[in-house]
Structure 1
């Protein structure tokens, strides 16, 4: 079995009286792709933000390479989290910056390279996601939705991260462009040898980019298994969610 890259235990988070995460236990093995599924508002994004350090959990532990980033010295926690590249749901590109600066933003912000070198890196990474050098000088507003997703992916891999997060990577895309983005994601993750976590409502995408899958329901991980088994799982919650059934345990919970 592969070593565990990210180990989460007993993770809890409340917002006021609302219990979002209620004891998350999850292991993501090194070099594998984990897909987390679940209804809107069930805490998928809160889970990612907790790992990233954008949300502070109330309880629990998040270990990266065996180090609990919630208890580690801030400098060590920051160093571990800098291993993470993120593709945001809506691209989250900076409209005021040209494409190349968006792609190289992390490198420039951390003063890792000169601006000239950063532009060269951006053009190289854009090529990896199928975009030509001429795109580098454009502004995000001049790009289609599919191109913006590619630029977002290019930014996510620019620093060659060992961990990658994908937040609804196919949202807003037609099925063909969604499949294209998924192929790029798989290709980039494999080339980098990265460990990845994706959250998605798109079952076709989940099976394309995931090795394993986990169901987040009522604040906990209630099922894990191969991503290829999502549509054939006999778990009633997974079955209802993946097939979009109107009746089942999730509907019962909503009526309470």
Structure 2
């Protein structure tokens, strides 16, 4: 009898960098995530859009392990983060860099100490030949190199965050996010609070950094110009689900009534403002 050959192994490139299935999260009676399914291929810059309160930040916080979802799976490189041991989870999440919406710089630290924070915190990062533990002197030099990558002079490292403009704080936040050369980068509203020109500058730096590192990126934003500048793929989150996904270049002409209303800022359409009670 002729035997059926075993199935060919799935090539590593076919395994999404991030794979989410059936993700649910509620806070009391408010259902924020309502069965999110998402695949983000390695090396892709993925943008998630959606109105305020639709769950974009909650989704990122679930992936980061800051919030525990009620149900579902989150896989990074094929490993389920939610069922991993604490040590395994630390290693997996140690591959992620994050640019927070408001920079989230530590006021008590100088700029260079903010940039090098992950490099100097052994409990927060994995250390290997590729990511060795650094002395303070080495970390300071490294911070200066990274500041240069985001268009800031190394002398800025001696300043405190309060001495920086909003655009400079964003750059420092980006420098901190890329300091340990992460495989995955998250951007939470990267252009919030910036004028259009500075927003374009930050977007350009994000694109350059992601390409230089070869990282996979996820950004959440309300800024449609930013979404199209930094995204390869995009999706819209509405009522706790992804209702559309496609090329970021198609955001303004998606053909989806929900997406079209949101991206063009139309008052009339299927999206209605919910009254708070």
TM-score, normalised by the number of residues in structure 2: 0.90
Per-residue deviation, residues 31-65 of structure 1 (Å, max 9, x unmatched): 00000000001100000000000000000000000
Match of 1:33 in 2: 45
Match of 2:205 in 1: 184
More helix by share: 1
Taking the aligned partners of 1:5 and 1:66, their CA distance within structure 2 comes to 7
Per-residue deviation, residues 150-191 of structure 1 (Å, max 9, x unmatched): 000000000000000000000000000000000000000000
| Shift in Å, 1:2 | 5.3
Taking the aligned partners of 1:28 and 1:128, their CA distance within structure 2 comes to 26
Taking the aligned partners of 1:95 and 1:77, their CA distance within structure 2 comes to 29
Structure 2: runs of 5 or more not aligned: 1-12, 124-132
Deviation beyond 3 Å, 4+ runs, structure 1: none
Out of 55-64 and 111-120, give the one that drifted further: 111-120
Q: Secondary structure at the match of 1:215?
A: strand
| TM alignment of 1:1-256, pairs within 5 A | 3-110=15-122, 112-251=133-272, 254=274
Larger Rg: 1 or 2? 2
Taking the aligned partners of 2:225 and 2:154, their CA distance within structure 1 comes to 31
Taking the aligned partners of 1:202 and 1:246, their CA distance within structure 2 comes to 17
Structure 1: runs of 5 or more not aligned: none
Q: Secondary structure at the match of 1:107?
A: coil
Taking the aligned partners of 1:108 and 1:32, their CA distance within structure 2 comes to 29
Taking the aligned partners of 1:26 and 1:236, their CA distance within structure 2 comes to 21
Per-residue deviation, residues 184-238 of structure 1 (Å, max 9, x unmatched): 0000000000000000000000000000001000000110000000000110100
Q: Secondary structure at the match of 2:104?
A: coil
Kept in 1, the 8 Å contact 2:15–2:78? The answer is no
Taking the aligned partners of 2:210 and 2:136, their CA distance within structure 1 comes to 26
RMSD: 1.2
| Shift in Å, 1:254 | 2.8
